[in-house]
Structures are given as structure tokens and as C-alpha cells.
Amino acid sequence: MNYWTRNNPVSLLVAEGNLWPHCRRLSQLAELPETHQILRQTCRDYADRELSPIASRLDKEHSYPLKQVYPNLGAMGIMAIEVPEELGGAGMDYLAYSVAMEEISRGCASTGVVVSVNNSLYIGPILKFGTEEQKKEWITPFTTGEKVGCFALSEPGNGSDAGAASTMAHQEGEEWVLNGTKAWITNSWDASATVVFATTDKKLKHKGISAFLIPMPHPGLSLGKKEDKLGIKASSTANIILEDCRIPLSNMLGPRGAGFKIAMQTLDSGRIGIASQALGIAQASLDCAADYAHKRNAFGAPIGRLQAIQAIQILGGMGYVTDMPAERHYRDARITEIYEGTSEIQRLVIAGQILKEYKQ
């Protein structure tokens, strides 16, 4: 039976309970390899058991029990999904990353973003551009969940425009000296290291930007106040301030002047995680709304039979208060239209790629 037809609206299927066995998640629309199915079920069970019950409290407290949650995720391989096993990771692929991100974010979006940043934005560029020594030093300790990393690209005046980095780095003897401010850095208050982008040659514009690895805490590096955000409140976001921050020459990531390339490729990979996070939040909203629509009666019938409407509208007044998770999902979802490139930027990227394909 085709469940996606006008004759069988989703609202009716939800009300009758027929949707659940067939399509709880978009990841179930296609056959997944057995290893990915096991990963999905493992992440789903963990999210239901450990994350969903505490998500509301963490949102209200604006804090996260890092030492309680992330070692468990590290043991499951979630903190380093694509990292080879010899470096301590799970040795899986982008599909596995997407599946895990969807299920973890369904349980708690704040957990999802920490996992995303550690995998895509911190570990990702080191895995692709780092030396073998850098991979051992800067990746392996971050696979267990005992440590998390962050990614410092955005700046107060230019957002994520990697080609306009005002943070400067110059060489003094055997050290790089960095000065500048990075803004909106997710994981900053909890991170043990960061990938930082700074200009090493202004005359070369975007080709004069380089990437660096800095441990945290570190002399010359300080943090701004924790931002009070609309959503993903349990994750930390703050400015990173660099004032004569000195690091060894060996802490440059990739060749000098490769920073723009590293940033762009890293963001491309990171968008997979953000899309999966948005999907997980959407699934959590559907779960909440569908369950309520199935149980709540009005005019002698489950409200799911009346019309197909959005989650908060289905819950009515209950969707507007913190007693139900729908309002948190609503707030958490908004950020997925902003970070890793706004929706407007994503449309430009998509349009450019389409035009490129047709030109070929």
C-alpha cells in the first residue's frame, strides 16, 4: 500500500496508528547495510534511554554533563565515526555519521551539535590535512569522549567568510604568534583544542589564510561570555580571544596558505551533520505531535483525523509551554538554518553546483 498519496493523508495514518510500523524515520526509506542498522538501533536506544529524559533539564540549566555522556558516546564510536580504527575511531563512513547524528539529535539536539563539531569540524580537517604526528596527537585523544574539540573560523565582523579573516598570525623564531577574535564558537567552553584560521599574508587575500592547532586552555587564549542562545542551550558558544597567543611552528595544519581550502572542504563535510541534526529534530517533533494527536480527542475523534498541521499547532496550548518538548524542538531547529552556512548560502552553493553540472 502506498502511504504517500492523497487518499491516505499522513494525519489520518497517524491517527489510526498505521504510520509507525512503516516509516518512523527517513533513514528507514532505504535499505541500510547491516552494520549501519546496528549503529542506528544502538544510537536510538541510547538516545531514548539516556538523552531524551534529560534533554529538557539540560536546556533549562544551560549546561551539559560532559563527563557523564560523552565517554559513553566515545565507547560507542560516535565521537570519531570516520576516524580509522588505528587512530581510535570507528572506521565507518559518512552514511554512518548521518545515521548516528539523526538518532542522537532526536534525543537531544545539544548533544547532536557537540558530536557534529567534534567529528566534522574539529577531527575532520586534521584527518584530511594533518601529518601522521598531528593525527596521533590531535585526534586520538578526542575519540574517546573524554575530550572534545572546536572550530574557530567565524569572526565578529565577517561571520563565516573564510576569505576575510582579520585574525593575524606572524612568525617569530620557532613560533607562530596569533592575535584576533573568533565568534560563535560551539564547544568553546568545553573544548580541549581548537582549529583556528588566521591570515599569514594579507596581500594574498584568501590564499594568504592558514590553519592552526591550539590546545585549550593555552597562554594568550581566553574565552568570552557564554552566549544565551534561543536553542541548543546545553551546548556552549562563546568568542575565542587570541592575544599574542604563541604556538610551535609544527602546529600549522596543512601548508601555509591552505586555510581557505581547508575551511571550505571542512564546511562541506560538516553540512552533512547539520542536515542530519535537523532531520533528527524533525523526527522528535513528529514523534511528539503524532503521539499527542493519536491520544487527544476533540469532537468525538482523535485530533489527528481533523487536519494535517504542524507539531506545535497539534499540541495547541501544550505546544507553547515547556511541559512538552515541542517548543524546545522548535527553538533547537532554528539554528540549523544558520550555522555551517545559512539557508541562503546553501541555496547559492546548490545553484552553483547545478549550473556547473549543466555546463559540463
Check whether 159 has a pLDDT greater than 50: yes
Check whether 220 has a pLDDT greater than 80: yes
Residue 220, φ and ψ in degrees, nearest 5: 90, -5
Residue 223, φ and ψ in degrees, nearest 5: -115, 145
C-alpha distances out from residue 176 to 147, 169, 339, Å: 24, 6, 29
pLDDT tens digits for 274-305?
999 999 999 998 887 777 676 665 555 555 55
Domains detected in the chain: 34-148 (1.10.540.10), 149-261 (2.40.110.10), 271-358 (1.20.140.10)
| CA 175 to mean position of chain CA atoms | 32
Task: List, in sequence order, every beta strand (DSSP E) within 35-157.
Answer: 149-152
What mean pLDDT do residues 68-94 have? 94
**Which among 146, 135, 117, 150 is positioned nearest to 270, based on CA atoms?**
117
What mean pLDDT do residues 73-97 have? 95
**Average pLDDT of the chain to the nearest whole number:** 85
pLDDT of residue 9: 31
What mean pLDDT do residues 251-261 have? 98
pLDDT of residue 308: 55
pLDDT tens digits for 264-274?
999 988 899 99
Residue 335, φ and ψ in degrees, nearest 5: -70, -25
pLDDT tens digits for 132-147?
999 999 999 999 999 9
C-alpha distances out from residue 43 to 115, 147, 204, 346, Å: 12, 20, 45, 28
**Which among 93, 94, 99, 87 is positioned nearest to 37, based on CA atoms?**
99
Are 280 and 112 a contacting pair, CB within 8 Å? yes
What mean pLDDT do residues 244-254 have? 99
Distance CA(258)–CA(133), nearest Å, equals 19
Are 208 and 199 a contacting pair, CB within 8 Å? yes
Check whether 166 has a pLDDT greater than 70: yes
Check whether 27 has a pLDDT greater than 60: no
Check whether 26 has a pLDDT greater than 50: no
Distance CA(17)–CA(300), nearest Å, equals 17
Active site members: 340
Cα angle 235, 166, 172; round to 5: 105
Q: What confidence category does residue 12 fall into, taking pLDDT thresholds of 50, 70 and 90?
A: very low
What mean pLDDT do residues 225-243 have? 95
DSSP state of 225: P
pLDDT of residue 22: 44
pLDDT of residue 329: 81
Omega cis (within 30) before 217: yes
